[in-house]
Amino acid sequence: MSHPAYTVLFALLLATAMALVGDRAGRQRVYLAVYWFCSAMASVAAGAWIMHWVHG
Amino acid sequence: MKRPWKDAPRPAALLLAAWLVPGGGYLLLRRYRQFALFLLVVSIATLAGVLLHGGNLWPATGELQGLDGLAKLTARAGALAKAMAGGPYLLAYLAGYSQTYLAGCLHECGTALLTAAGLLNLLALADAWDTRGRVRA
């Protein structure tokens, strides 16, 4: 599995799980899932750039 | 708004069901959508971890030789986290899947997914426990 595909899978699983917990309306869960997915992808991108700058 | 529930499941039954069946706590609390989705999430994470050859066995003493105390503790904590996935983890083991700790270090993507499966199941367990407390009140 390629790293981008692995990253997307991980982010999807995490976003789904985080949206499922708690007592929320359906629409709120969707918004939360999107938020978590985007945050996870942004974190990976930021981490990748930091690693690039640190290691060259 | 969920109606108050008179017959909340017993704590031990909830914990056992929540560990053994991913989302099982939600099943006992009659939250079927959450149960189905958590079952799907944890099962997919475990299956992907197995397909990527993640390590699922408890680290042997020989494999941890030369490591300091904290590293050994971390390795064992990771193995415990993987076991928290419950049913999917047990099914994989019973189906003959076994990858040592060192093999898991080599296939770290799979190992990370197996660990995530366990932690996500633990999240579901904790939320089901919390939900039980809310519906009883």
pLDDT mean over B91-117? 89
Contacts of B107 in chain A (CB under 8 A): none
How high is the mean pLDDT of chain A? 92
Number of domains into which chain B is organized: 1
ipTM score assigned to the predicted complex:
0.85
Report the residue count for chain B.
137
Q: What is the pLDDT of residue B115?
A: 94
Q: Do A23 and B48 touch (CB under 8 A)?
A: no
Burial class (CB in 10 A: 0-12, 13-18, 19+), B135: middle
The CA distance from B114 to B46, in Å, is 5
Q: Do A20 and B113 touch (CB under 8 A)?
A: no
The verdict on residue B72 lying in a domain is: yes
Angle CA A25–A31–A35, to nearest 5: 140
B22-49 pLDDT, tens digit per residue, is 999 999 988 999 999 999 999 999 999 9
Is the separation of the CB atoms in B38 and B123 below 8 Å? Answer: no
Above 60 in pLDDT, residue B137?
no
Nearest to B44 among A13, A20, A23 (CB): A13
For tokens 């990976």, name the residue: A44
Q: Which residue of B has its CA nearest to A23?
A: B131
The CA distance from A45 to A17, in Å, is 21
Long-range CB contacts (within 8 A, 24+) of B4-13: B4/B135, B5/B29, B5/B30, B5/B135, B5/B136, B8/B132, B8/B135, B8/B136, B9/B132, B11/B129, B11/B132
Give the domain extent around B96: 11-132
The verdict on residue B137 lying in a domain is: no
Tally C-beta pairs within 8 A across A and B. Answer: 36
Q: What is the pLDDT of residue B32?
A: 92
Contacts of A10 in chain B (CB under 8 A): 112-113, 116
The CA distance from A3 to B25, in Å, is 33
Q: What is the pLDDT of residue A35?
A: 96
A30-52 pLDDT, tens digit per residue, is 999 999 999 999 999 999 999 99
pLDDT mean over A2-26? 91
Q: Do B34 and A23 touch (CB under 8 A)?
A: no
pLDDT category at A29 given cuts 50, 70, 90 is: very high
